[in-house]
Amino acid sequence: MQWEAIQRERTLEKLSTVKHIVCVASGKGGVGKSTTAVNLALALQQRGLRVGLLDADIYGPSQPMMLGVKPGTRPRIVDKKYMEPIRAHGIESNSMGYLVDSNTAMVWRAPMIVGAFNQILKDTLWSDLDYLIVDMPPGTGDIQLSLTQTVNLSGAVIVTTPQDVALLDARKGIEMFRKVNVPLLGVVENMGVHICSNCGHAEAIFGEGGGLELSKDYGVDVIGSLPLDLSIREHSDNGTPIVVAKPDGPVAQAYRALADKVIERIAQLSASAAAGPRISITDD
């Protein structure tokens, strides 16, 4: 335990240039977590903040492609150990995708995965950042536990779709963060409504009301509602996320509204922590 405490202190010292660390998580894959993470990071940057993006999905890193970073790009190594983050669209980033070939399968057991994640987290030379957004792998496994035990997280954002299966797994994610005392900033309901580009008909393909149901059950606010829109996928695949490609469009505005909610919630939590506990004195 003493060694773990020493390691934690060293990590916190290395991350002392980062004001807030926010993880974007999901109970299962395929709900648009990585797309939400990159667009959230870019929306925060468009608010004039200094932002970094850490791709914590060691098995399936996708942020290099979403950021449009040229394949084969590698971080510059400093003092034979530390990595300079890759800059793209005005934000800093690091990912296992920068360190291995895109076709390489990471056939690693859990200790190796955690070790690789911790190395990327601790040995990246982040500059003075207002926010470091961490794109978590799906699930509630080793990396999630390692992150919560290693750094002081400002909060977590849970991404889900309205689909019942996704909501079931989102509940597990909420329960996990509660058990490790990480503040929940809110739930993002992704792929909520699809609007037909030909006729304008709106249809909730994956169901509706799921985010609101989570909100009622856990007392967690729905801080974002994002549509099922073909352009989101197209621009992510092309390396120009929609917040960059169409900054004045309604989808980009929805991501900026999400960013504003994250800023607001963290400010509230920071103010609450600074105020400290209230002491009441009575005559009893």
Question: Over the stretch 210-223, which tens digit does the pLDDT of each residue have?
Answer: 677 777 788 889 89
Give the pLDDT confidence score for residue 23 in this predicted structure: 96
- Residue 262: Cβ-neighbour burial (10 angstroms; 0-12, 13-18, 19+): buried
Give the pLDDT confidence score for residue 92 in this predicted structure: 98
Give the pLDDT confidence score for residue 277 in this predicted structure: 56
User: What's the pTM?
Assistant: 0.89
Give the pLDDT confidence score for residue 130 in this predicted structure: 98
Give the pLDDT confidence score for residue 201 in this predicted structure: 56
Give the pLDDT confidence score for residue 192 in this predicted structure: 77
> Residue 85 is encoded by which pair of tokens?
């983050």
Q: How far apart are CA 28 and CA 146, in angstroms?
A: 18
Give the pLDDT confidence score for residue 282 in this predicted structure: 52
Q: Which among 152, 46, 61 has a CA at the least distance from the CA of 100?
A: 61
Strands annotated E in 181-279: 184-189, 194-195, 202-203, 222-225
Intervals of the chain under pLDDT 70: 1-13, 194-198, 200-210, 275-284
Percent of the chain residues past pLDDT 70, beyond the cut: 86
Q: How far apart are CA 188 and CA 139, in angstroms?
A: 16
Give the pLDDT confidence score for residue 200 in this predicted structure: 62
| CATH superfamily of the domain spanning 17-261 | P-loop containing nucleotide triphosphate hydrolases (3.40.50.300)
> What's the one-letter identity of residue 208?
E
* Domain boundaries, given as residue ranges, for the chain: 17-261
